[in-house]
Chains A and B, each alone.
Chain A
Amino acid sequence: MKFVKSLDLVAMTLILILAAIACGPPSPTPTAVSAPAGKASPTAGGPALEGGKLIYGLTLTPSGIDPHVNASSELGIPLTSVYDTLVWQDLDGEFVPGLAKSWEVSDDGLTYTFHLRDDVVFHDGTPFNAQAVKFNLDRIADPATKSQKAVFMLGPYRSTEIVDDYTVKVHFKEPYAPFLDSLSQVYLGMASPTAVEKWGADYQLHQVGTGPFMMKEYIPKDHLTLVRNPNYNWAPTIFNHQGPAYLEEIEFRFFVEPATRALALEGGEADVMGEIPPHDAERLAKDPAFTLVPVAIPGQSLQFFLNTEKPPTDDLRVRQAINYAADKEAIVKAIFKEYSPVAHGPLNAFTMGYDESVVGMYEYDPAKAKALLEEAGWVDSDGDGIREKDGQSLKLEAYLMGWGYVPEVAQLLQAQLRAVGIEMESQVVAYPAALEAARKGKHNLIPFGLSSSDPDILRTFFHSSNADSGFNWSKVRDPRLDELLESGARTLDPDRRKELYAEAQQLIMAEALILPIRDYVNLNAAGAKVKGLRYDLRGWFPWLYDVYLEE
């Protein structure tokens, strides 16, 4: 009897683990990608009204929400309203003053001088000044912080020098073009040094910034509540008003299961909801009680990496054939409806530095795909519809993650590839297992797509130093590509940068290192009473400061 129960215990444990693996990963944020929103809000309304409480639905429960420490995109949705940044980026991509009134970059690109506002206080009364800036940047760079994102956004950071109370110089080891972009994001937001020191590891539950909303309460996996900062008087020009925010309170709740999101909105349990499934979005769009707010998210397109080190995708002609054989229009139309544009390259169309010349490089052309395969020696000799060469059949192995409609995309792709004589065997695996398979190069195809507002993201995925460990899943080792990506990160002149990244994108597509599918559009929806809802250039982060409720 006792023995049996012990066994049950073990079994339960294993079942829990197995069940978890089978369930697949929690749609992790690396969905990603594409196009900035129109500048006018689709929820524009009459004159703004003060007060009221907004309930905002988040789609995954972040493991940690300290922007200096954690990496999730989800944390930025609430916390963009809690923290101010030294600079902000408007919807045209221009950098505008934030907590810094102005700034200069030295000629060698190694030093940024920031002149700070002298009228700003943190929510806890701590004054904002040069010491606070140094404290924040040093905290991010400190290995003890174990930063998962911010430290890498800080790049080759050397130190911060306090010139006077309201002037700082930030020094770099080498020129670093993405710095202002990094600085304008919540991950490099300015936190109260007093609060950080007071709370230590629990700081994430008691975060203190200078933003228009203050953190009131965070119960992990349940809710996060912000209240209006009555003293806020330093709004950047990107916003439509000055002074305190309109809303009294914002409560963020978690709606992890995609099928419940539209239901919660319709049941009145949330006023705004992100990542609505496309078929639910179609329904909400027709309902006058709701406004659909699709927001394009810049960064990578959803793309399959084609492994250049594993046969048969080690042959350029096979990789090109895959690109010609895929009918992306049909895939996007069937799965993402009219909301997502078809992707043509490694960056989506609305990322800074996107190069248009990739459009049309691979129009859907099954005949051309067949010709390329034949040229490469792949012919269907036994009449089973799949091509062979030297007794080997033309078979691809795809490792899929369960999120972002990847399995559905793969299913359509499988049929399209089969039509030109390629067999694709796919398996949906848990997220950690997918990453491991990709690192070890077990795949011919594996999908990914990460949001990013800077083209430097390409370095992560195509630089040879990331081929053995890291995210270069095409396993490409091309000295010219390395050179382009390295100088892209170092070059401060925007036009020159554009040229470098244009060549990189053309090279990536000429080598057919990826199969791009779609540009990522986040389908948000809001109740009709929600007015003034806009998202920043990165697409993920709402500007809730300007939002108000109309009854």
Chain B
Amino acid sequence: MLRFIGKRLLASIPVLWGVTTLVFLAIHLLPGDPAELMLAESGGSAESIAYLRTQLGLDDPLYVQYGRFLLNTLRGDLGRSIFTNRPVLQTILEQLPSTIELALAAMLMAVVLGTGLGILAALNHNSWLDNICMAIAVAGVSVPIFWSGLLLILLFSSTLHWLPATGQGGLRHLLMPAAVLGFASSGTIARLVRSGLLEVLQKEYITTARAKGLSERLIFYRHALKNALIPVITVVGLQFGFLLGGAVVTETVFSRQGIGRLIVDAILWKDFPLVQGGVLLAAVTYTLVNLLVDISYAFADPRIRHDEL
């Protein structure tokens, strides 16, 4: 197992390098100039734009800027934000807990709701209940987050005054954003659980179990559900990327702090070091989550033993 983890960690290095390089190129090739953006707010002259470009080191050729970025990153220095002049790492770490809190809460919602809907649908296959469950799942996948977010705010904050519309701190602030984001993610899980269960329930070992005279409840929980959940674990890992992406919109609608909003703002203002640092950290997180998912297979299914890979 340790060898497997070591190999996977080594393999992630080229991935991270590729991502950072791609992002570096993308953000620099996209139109726009940070000095110009800064001065658009204050109405600076051509002279002042040139002055600011020099101060910020933006006049250097791209390969010099890339080399500087790569060397500093290897030394663990993600640089300073162009706009705030504060260390990138510190800026991101300040925002990270809020996003992790949101992503984990949303994940929990998604798994509970998705699995519940999936089971209900599979057990009542081809009935009206199945249709309703799947309609909810489709809604989850297709309703845009900003819309469902505003709708919830309208209902629970504006009309009923039960929950605060914005900000953070405590469960009350977390409930709506997590529900919106979790709902969006639950649809995929529900469909997967349903189809997995339906498939497993056709298997011969279920027939065998029935023949042995086991109760339906036991068959379902011990034999069917456990096997049907294995693909779900993979999807949960992949959904984590979706949650990070969805956090951008959720954080904006609910005026929450977070790394999603931080990176999007940084992209819009062409704050190069902050974008590069933020994406690098997101990539590291995503890689680690997927590693955890792979490791967890071993627990869910003893047939999968990573040492043999």
Nearest CB in chain B: distance from A297 CB, A: 14
Residues in A neighbouring B154, C-beta threshold 8 A: 263
B265: Cβ under 8 A from any A Cβ: yes
In the bound complex, what is the Cα–Cα distance between A10 and B25 (angstroms)? Answer: 13
In the bound complex, what is the Cα–Cα distance between A237 and B176 (angstroms)? Answer: 47
**Within A28-87, which residues are at the interface with B (CB < 8 Å)?**
28-30, 61, 63-64, 69-73
In the bound complex, what is the Cα–Cα distance between A10 and B55 (angstroms)? Answer: 32
Instruction: Known contacts A152-B48, A220-B91, A433-B32; decide if A29 and B268 are in contact (CB<8 Å).
Output: no
A450: Cβ under 8 A from any B Cβ: yes
**Within B12-48, which residues are at the interface with A (CB < 8 Å)?**
15, 18-19, 22-23, 26-27, 30-33, 36-48
B166 touches A222 (CB 8 A): no
In the bound complex, what is the Cα–Cα distance between A143 and B52 (angstroms)? Answer: 9
In the bound complex, what is the Cα–Cα distance between A63 and B38 (angstroms)? Answer: 10
Q: Mark B281-305, 1 if CB is under 8 A from A, else 0.
A: 0110011001000000000000000
- Of chain A, the residue at the smallest CB distance from B87 is A201
In the bound complex, what is the Cα–Cα distance between A436 and B11 (angstroms)? Answer: 39
B244: Cβ under 8 A from any A Cβ: yes
Name B44's contact: one of A146, A152, A254, A257 (CB within 8 Å): A152
B286 touches A9 (CB 8 A): yes
- Of chain A, the residue at the smallest CB distance from B275 is A17
Instruction: Known contacts A430-B268, A470-B45; decide if A13 and B83 are in contact (CB<8 Å).
Output: no
Name A260's contact: one of B44, B161, B245, B253 (CB within 8 Å): B253
**Within B46-101, which residues are at the interface with A (CB < 8 Å)?**
46-52, 55-56, 80-81, 83-87, 91, 94-95, 98
B26 touches A8 (CB 8 A): no
Residues in A neighbouring B52, C-beta threshold 8 A: 146, 148
A263 touches B49 (CB 8 A): no
Name B167's contact: one of A69, A143, A269 (CB within 8 Å): A269
Which candidate, B177-185, B186-194, B208-216, B256-264, is the interface stretch facing chain A?
B256-264
B36 touches A439 (CB 8 A): yes
B158: Cβ under 8 A from any A Cβ: yes
Which candidate, A316-324, A420-428, A454-462, A525-533, is the interface stretch facing chain B?
A454-462
Nearest CB in chain B: distance from A301 CB, A: 14
Residues in B neighbouring A221, C-beta threshold 8 A: 95, 257-258, 261-262
Residues in A neighbouring B85, C-beta threshold 8 A: 64, 69, 146, 201
Which candidate, A18-26, A240-248, A329-337, A496-504, is the interface stretch facing chain B?
A18-26
Name B55's contact: one of A143, A201, A269 (CB within 8 Å): A143
B23 touches A17 (CB 8 A): yes
B83 touches A63 (CB 8 A): yes
B131: Cβ under 8 A from any A Cβ: no
Nearest CB in chain A: distance from B52 CB, A: 7
- Of chain A, the residue at the smallest CB distance from B50 is A469
A259: Cβ under 8 A from any B Cβ: yes
In the bound complex, what is the Cα–Cα distance between A26 and B41 (angstroms)? Answer: 13
B49 touches A470 (CB 8 A): yes
**Within A128-143, which residues are at the interface with B (CB < 8 Å)?**
143
Nearest CB in chain B: distance from A486 CB, A: 12
In the bound complex, what is the Cα–Cα distance between A8 and B27 (angstroms)? Answer: 19
In the bound complex, what is the Cα–Cα distance between A21 and B48 (angstroms)? Answer: 27
B116: Cβ under 8 A from any A Cβ: no
Residues in A neighbouring B255, C-beta threshold 8 A: 253-257, 260
Total B residues in contact with A, Cβ cutoff 8 Å: 83
Residues in A neighbouring B27, C-beta threshold 8 A: 17
**Within B220-256, which residues are at the interface with A (CB < 8 Å)?**
238, 241, 244-245, 248-249, 252-256
- Of chain A, the residue at the smallest CB distance from B274 is A63
A152 touches B56 (CB 8 A): no
Total A residues in contact with B, Cβ cutoff 8 Å: 78
A432 touches B31 (CB 8 A): yes
Instruction: Known contacts A8-B241, A143-B55, A267-B164; decide if A71 and B268 are in contact (CB<8 Å).
Output: no
A263 touches B262 (CB 8 A): no
A15: Cβ under 8 A from any B Cβ: yes
In the bound complex, what is the Cα–Cα distance between A253 and B256 (angstroms)? Answer: 10
A5: Cβ under 8 A from any B Cβ: yes
**Within B97-126, which residues are at the interface with A (CB < 8 Å)?**
98
A63 touches B26 (CB 8 A): no
B252 touches A257 (CB 8 A): yes
In the bound complex, what is the Cα–Cα distance between A235 and B112 (angstroms)? Answer: 58
Name B265's contact: one of A63, A143, A223, A260 (CB within 8 Å): A63
Residues in A neighbouring B15, C-beta threshold 8 A: 6, 9
Q: Which of A5, A28, A269, A465 has the most CB of B within 10 A?
A: A5
B268 touches A10 (CB 8 A): no
B195: Cβ under 8 A from any A Cβ: no
Instruction: Known contacts A20-B268, A23-B264, A64-B85; decide if A9 and B19 are in contact (CB<8 Å).
Output: yes
Name A461's contact: one of B38, B43, B253 (CB within 8 Å): B43
Name B248's contact: one of A14, A16, A70, A430 (CB within 8 Å): A16
A9 touches B45 (CB 8 A): no
In the bound complex, what is the Cα–Cα distance between A478 and B245 (angstroms)? Answer: 49
B267 touches A17 (CB 8 A): yes
A437: Cβ under 8 A from any B Cβ: yes
- Of chain A, the residue at the smallest CB distance from B36 is A435
B168 touches A222 (CB 8 A): yes
- Of chain A, the residue at the smallest CB distance from B81 is A63
A71 touches B41 (CB 8 A): yes
A12: Cβ under 8 A from any B Cβ: yes
Instruction: Known contacts A12-B241, A17-B23, A256-B255; decide if A29 and B41 are in contact (CB<8 Å).
Output: yes
B86 touches A202 (CB 8 A): yes
A73 touches B41 (CB 8 A): yes
A71 touches B42 (CB 8 A): yes
Name A430's contact: one of B32, B84, B86, B238 (CB within 8 Å): B32
- Of chain A, the residue at the smallest CB distance from B26 is A17
B167 touches A222 (CB 8 A): yes
A176: Cβ under 8 A from any B Cβ: no
- Of chain B, the residue at the smallest CB distance from A467 is B46
- Of chain B, the residue at the smallest CB distance from A201 is B85
Residues in A neighbouring B279, C-beta threshold 8 A: 13, 16
Nearest CB in chain B: distance from A474 CB, A: 14
Residues in A neighbouring B166, C-beta threshold 8 A: 253, 255, 260, 264, 269
In the bound complex, what is the Cα–Cα distance between A263 and B18 (angstroms)? Answer: 43
Q: Mark B148-179, 1 if CB is under 8 A from A, else 0.
A: 00100110011001001111100000000000
Nearest CB in chain A: distance from B159 CB, A: 9
11 A–B contacts from the bound complex (CB under 8 Å): A9-B287, A13-B22, A16-B244, A64-B86, A221-B257, A257-B146, A257-B255, A260-B166, A266-B158, A432-B33, A436-B31
> What 4 pairs across the A-B complex have the smallest Cβ distances?
A432-B32, A470-B46, A63-B83, A64-B84
With A9-B19, A269-B164 given, can you name 19 additional A-B contacts, CB distance below 8 Å?
Answer: A2-B11, A13-B283, A17-B23, A19-B248, A64-B86, A70-B83, A146-B52, A201-B87, A204-B84, A219-B257, A220-B91, A222-B256, A255-B166, A255-B255, A256-B255, A263-B157, A269-B157, A432-B30, A466-B45
